[in-house]
Amino acid sequence: MGGPKLLVSFTEGKKRSFVAALIYIILAISKILLGITFASLIIFADGIHNIADSLTGFVVYIGLFFAEKYPSDKYPFGLYKAENLASLFVAVAIAYAGFDIIMQSIFTKEGKISMPMLLISVELVSALVTYWLTRYLLSTPGIKLDAINAEGVHSLQDALTSIAVIIGIIGEWFNIIYLPEIIGIGIGGYILLQSYQIGKDSVLTLLDRGDEKATENIRKIVLSIENVIGVHEIKVRKAGPFLFAAMHLEAPPAFSVKDADKLADIVEEKLRKEIPSLLYVSIHIEPGSYTGKWKLAIFEDENSMVADSIEKIKRIKILSTPDMDIESIIDNINLARGNVSNVSQMLRDKGVNAIIYAGNESLLALKAYGIEVYYTNEKDEKEAINLFREGKLISK
């Protein structure tokens, strides 16, 4: 059901990701030049790291650029995975940079650095700038896109990396044995870890890996909606910043096609509201299974048994399954005077899906309100409910 409804403005997200990329380029060039000029392998390595950071910023920009494009006949599901494909190439480039930094840290021997206070000042400014960038990205207005949030967290990690680099510069300054090499290898290892995470997520997304967290979230949201009996075969995949979902929705069997379609629309609207990144929702409607989430009404006689005729109905007990919790009890019921329609309306307003009754009357008024009537020969209430849950009761 439903098609793409791109209610998100990507303009601000693109602008902020582009700003992040430019800031990282400026930081990278400054650090690489300073690292070469003042013979600091650590600050040079951090500059290479910032080049990788700028690439991820541009990848986010590219992903949001394609996310703005509506699907076409040639690409009915859009080009959202272009972001994931670009991320995969970037992951390879980042991995190479990380490996190169580790090799330089191990095999390159350097003399004592000059102007250490200048280098420390540069890294301190870098830490402050990347911390500001974190707040700038995470405060992007509108629907929060995963790519922007990830880039914000990434910037915070860069601020911490700059602090580590300052420690390494101090180690070079005071000739603390192996400290610069350890810091350089640590930064290289961190870059390799970044490349692994980016590459892993990209590959798994391109292979249409299911999203277990989103699946469970969808299940909880759908089951909280009135008149939903159950939901199964939920399949969720990711493309770029968006989620695509399909599911089998269980509706009350007495629902008309119109009512079932309306319920599907309610479910879709609720999911889109709760999960902004959900772009497509495909819903298949089918009759609810007896073990699902029902709201049952038991027509009882004066002895708290299942009534076997309209005249004997004295009260209505409303239960919710599968725990069979009693939601309410309606006393002083009298259906003998032909007010079945009024009772039907009341039960529908309370969200009742089905009635258990031991009589023979058709009770068509209840079916007209979308409430299924299940008939039983068992007057004991608990036994009748067990028969219902086993699917042994019939509805005429």
Q: What is the mean pLDDT of residues 376-387?
A: 91
pLDDT higher than 50, residue 3 = no
pLDDT of residue 318: 93
Top-level class of domain 11-206: mainly alpha
Tokens (6 digits) for 362: 């058709």
pLDDT of residue 7: 47
pLDDT of residue 17: 86
User: For residue range 153-188, what is the model confidence (pLDDT) as tens digits?
Assistant: 677 777 777 777 777 777 777 777 777 677 778 877
pLDDT of residue 228: 92
Q: According to the CATH classification, is domain 295-389 in 3.30.420.130?
A: yes
CA 229, 234, 239, 240 dihedral sign is positive
Going by the DSSP 8-state scheme, the letter that residue 116 receives in this structure is H
Q: For the structural domain made of 212-287, what CATH number should be given? A: 3.30.70.1350
Rounded distance, CA 346 to CA 369, Å? 10
Strand, helix or coil at 278?
strand
Return the domain boundaries, the chain: 11-206, 212-287, 295-389
pLDDT of residue 375: 93
Strand order in the sheet with 295-300: 325-330, 315-320, 295-300, 354-357, 372-375
Cα maximum dimension of the chain:
103
Q: What is the mean pLDDT of the chain?
A: 82
Which of the four pLDDT bands, split at 50, 70 and 90, describes residue 40?
confident
Q: Is the pTM of this model over 0.75?
A: no
Name beta bridge partners: 316. Answer: 299, 330
Q: How far is CA 20 from CA 38, 154, 180, 376, in A?
A: 27, 11, 28, 68
